[in-house]
Amino acid sequence: MRHAVQTAGAVGGSGRFFRLDPLALPVRHAEREDAFILDRDRAVVRRSLSGIPATLDVPVSAYSGVAVRMYTEGEDNLRVVVELLHRDPALTLRLLMADKPEDAALDWATWGETLGLPLLVIEADGRVTAVEGKACGISPRETMARRAGKPFGGRRSRFARRRKVGVFKSVERLEGREIIARS
C-alpha cells in the first residue's frame, strides 16, 4: 500500500527554517542535491558521494538517537536544530530548525517516542549526552485510562449463538494398496 509522503513546511515564512511532522510519517525533505524520506523503520537518503548520485537505505536502528543542539547566529539570534544523529555525519538528518526552544522541545520528544530512539543533547563543545526520563517534563501524548471492563466482551454474536461449538474427533486412517485399472 502506498502512503502519502509529507514534505517539510517552512516555519515563519523563511526558507531557512523548517519542520517535519513526527506524527505524519513518512516525511520527505529535499534541499539542493540532498534528499531523504523517513519512515518509522528506515530512512532512504539520496546524496551525491564524490560526484556520483547514491541512494542509501539506512535502518532507523542504525541511528544513535534524536538530538537537539542550540547555537547562536550573530549576537541575539538563537537557533535550535533537532536531528536524527548518526555516527557518520553525512547520514545525520535534520528534522526541525527553529528560533525558539519551546517550539522544538515537544517535537524533539515526539520524534524520540515515534522512532523509539533515545533523546540526546549536543553540548556547545560537541559532547553528546543522553536525557533520562521525559525530556523537560514534556510528555508528547498523555494516555487516557481505559475502561475497567468491556460490557460486550464475553458475549457471542447472534450468528455464533445459533451454532454449537464443534468438537474435533480423530479421523480414521485407511491403508491399503491402490488398484488402478488400465486399458
Q: Let me know if residue 144 belongs to a domain.
A: no
The amino acid sitting at 86 is H
Q: What is the 3-state secondary structure (H, E, C) of 110-173?
A: HHHHHHCCCEEEECCCCCEEECCCCHHHCCCCCCCCCCCCCCCCCCCCHHHHHCCCCCCCCCCC
The domain tally of the chain equals 1
DSSP annotation string for 59-128: EGGGS-EEEEEEEEETTTEEEEEEEEE-SSGGG-EEEEEES-HHHHHHHHHHHHHHHT--EEEE-TTS-E
Q: Let me know if residue 75 belongs to a domain.
A: yes
Query: What is the pLDDT, as a whole number, of residue 2?
Result: 47
Reported residue count of the chain is 183
Q: Let me know if residue 111 belongs to a domain.
A: yes
Is the model's pTM score more than 0.75?
A: no
Cis omega (within 30 of 0) for bond into 89: no
C-alpha to C-alpha distance for 59 and 116, rounded to whole angstroms: 12
Q: Let me know if residue 105 belongs to a domain.
A: yes
Q: Let me know if residue 56 belongs to a domain.
A: yes
Q: Let me know if residue 64 belongs to a domain.
A: yes
Query: What is the pLDDT, as a whole number, of residue 13?
Result: 43
Query: In this structure, what are the phi and psi dihedrals at residue 113, rounded to the nearest 5 degrees?
Result: -70, -40
Q: Let me know if residue 43 belongs to a domain.
A: yes
Q: Would residue 95 be called left, alpha or beta, if left means φ above 0 and alpha means ψ between -120 and 50 degrees? A: alpha
Q: What is the DSSP letter of 8?
A: P
Query: What is the pLDDT, as a whole number, of residue 49?
Result: 79
Q: Walk along the chain (183 residues) and give the pLDDT tens digit of each residue.
A: 444 444 455 444 444 577 888 888 888 888 777 788 888 889 898 888 788 888 889 999 999 899 998 888 777 788 888 999 999 888 888 888 888 888 788 888 888 888 888 888 888 888 888 887 655 555 555 555 555 555 655 666 777 777 777 777 788 888 888 788 776
Query: Residue 61 belongs to what domain range?
Result: 6-132
